[in-house]
Amino acid sequence: MYVILHSNKSTITNEKLQGNTSLHQTSPLINTGLIYVFVDNPNVLKYVIAVLENFGAFDNRRHSPCFNQFRVDHGKLLATIQSNRKLGDAPVIVGSRPSPNDSLWRSVREQGYNVMVCDRNIENHEEKADLELVHMIDKVIFTKSPGILALVSGDSDYDPIITTALDRNWIVETWFWNMGMSGELIYKTIFTPLEYHYKSFLCGFSPDLGKNNQSS
């Protein structure tokens, strides 16, 4: 809470005597322009890439092509999202832990932060991991001055926390694939489709077209 006091003490006294309540009111906080990045690594990625690049095995359970032979460089993903803006705090990642040689670690360390990673495994189910990310976003928007909240997710479950952030004068960006992107988030946020940028942070290996790429 920010309260602007007059430098003249007698002015403060007079305002109090007159019942002026302006000293107890707060103006909307000015946006700092600092960016806070939250990444929810989605399982849908392997299906999106297969469609975009038109190759991969066919997943009979999802009735969709699937391509697993790629790696996300989270450092390059962060660079794409951050651009020339300054980080306000450590990036937060939920899902697969980036490999030790991912450029993310060096990039974030050079900016004075450590990466916060919430591993998603057998014990840490998707719903639990997502709740942890919501908790971290909630903590930031209530303890930091308003800035830019950049969320890599298209899940409508984040709609309530995004609404709260907007109400507190945060700018909210969402970065995700058109495939699977929530309509509510597109409407409420500054949405950037990753289809425009994925070649800058993904590297993969072409499947062996001489083999049968059918999977059960």
Confidence of residue 13 (pLDDT cuts 50, 70, 90): very low
**Whether the predicted pLDDT of 141 surpasses 90:** yes
Cβ contact 118:93 at 8 Å: yes
Strand order in the sheet with 190-193: 116-119, 92-95, 35-40, 148-152, 171-176, 190-193
Please write the tens of the pLDDT for every residue from 86-99: 999 989 888 767 67
Residue 117 is inside which H or E element, if any? strand 116-119
Tell me how far apart the terminal alpha carbons of the chain are, to the nearest angstrom. Answer: 57
Q: Residue 70: how many CB atoms within 10 A of its CB? A: 16
Highest mean pLDDT among 6-20, 22-36, 151-165: 151-165
d(C-alpha 84, C-alpha 76), whole Å: 13
Please say if the pLDDT value at position 142 is more than 70: yes
Whole-number percent of the chain with pLDDT over 70: 58
Q: What is the model's pTM?
A: 0.69
What CATH number matches the domain at 32-43+74-208, 3.40.50.620, 3.40.50.2300, 3.40.50.2030, 3.40.50.1010?
3.40.50.1010
